[in-house]
Amino acid sequence: MKHAPLVDQLINAFTCLPGVGPRSAQRMAYSLLDRGREQGRRLAEALQAAMDGVEHCARCRNYAEAELCPVCEDPKRDASLVCIVSTPADVLAFEQSGEYRGQYFVLMGELSPLDGIGPRELGLDVLEQRLREGQINELILATGTTVEGEATAHYVLDLAQETGVRVSRIAQGVPMGGDLEFVDGATLAQALRGRRLFE
């Protein structure tokens, strides 16, 4: 004999979440059953609504509930400036900085041939199309600084140069407001290479 079948089904279903094994799945199920039925129902509704209602923006590939996401739809954003990022979380980070008034192109991943993630999976054929249309003045590369992020950035750089679009890369260096002693060697080396002379 096991749990009541509905409890077992719930525990099993939780293990589809990243980082959730049988133990934590059991803890989650018990927690909702014991003290959080209302929260559990809300989670069920939020899941259903998101699974059915969230699509990708036809222009930038970010999550969207209409054909275009709020950024692409906003006439005040500069459509000639496009920042290439890997995930929706990166868009969020840029938006929270309050600095950026251009648009984005969200790859929803990074090149990883061994996992079957090639240019097409990242929508780079769509990006190439847009680059050829000639409405983009500058492409800003802001993928991660991992091996996959760098490889992806190089691929996009090649695309942009083929189509004659200006490309830049966000600065790499020491983060703001931290003690130098806690910055790793690779970052410091990068910061040195990227140093700027006072004018």
Euclidean distance between CA atoms 143 and 109, whole angstroms: 9
User: What is the contact mask toward a second copy in residues 43 to 72, using x (rule: CB under 8 A)?
Assistant: xxxxxxxxxxxx-------xxxx---xxx-
Euclidean distance between CA atoms 174 and 193, whole angstroms: 12
SS3 call for 183: coil
30 is a contact residue toward a second copy (CB under 8 A): yes
- Interface size with a second copy, residues (CB under 8 A): 59
3 is a contact residue toward a second copy (CB under 8 A): yes
Element (H, E) at 20: none
Do residues 82 and 140 touch, judged by C-beta distance below 8 A?
yes
**Contact region for a second copy (CB under 8 A) — 26-34, 143-151, 153-161, 185-193?**
26-34
Q: Which is it for strands 138-141 and 55-56: parallel, antiparallel or unpaired?
A: unpaired
Find the binder of a second copy among 16, 171, 176, 197 (CB under 8 A): 16
Q: Give whichever of 28 and 165 is closer to a second copy, judged by the CB atom.
A: 28
> Shortest Cβ distance from residue 94 to a second copy (Å)?
10
Q: Give whichever of 27 and 169 is closer to a second copy, judged by the CB atom.
A: 27
Do residues 111 and 147 touch, judged by C-beta distance below 8 A?
no
Place of tokens 């999550």: 63
Find the binder of a second copy among 60, 89, 168, 182 (CB under 8 A): 89
Euclidean distance between CA atoms 30 and 36, whole angstroms: 9
**Contact region for a second copy (CB under 8 A) — 25-33, 133-141, 146-154, 158-166?**
25-33
The two tokens of residue 110 are 């990074």
The two tokens of residue 189 are 């080396």
Contact positions vs a second copy (CB under 8 A): 1-7, 9-10, 12-14, 16-20, 24, 26-34, 36-37, 39-54, 62-65, 69-71, 87-89, 92, 95, 108-109
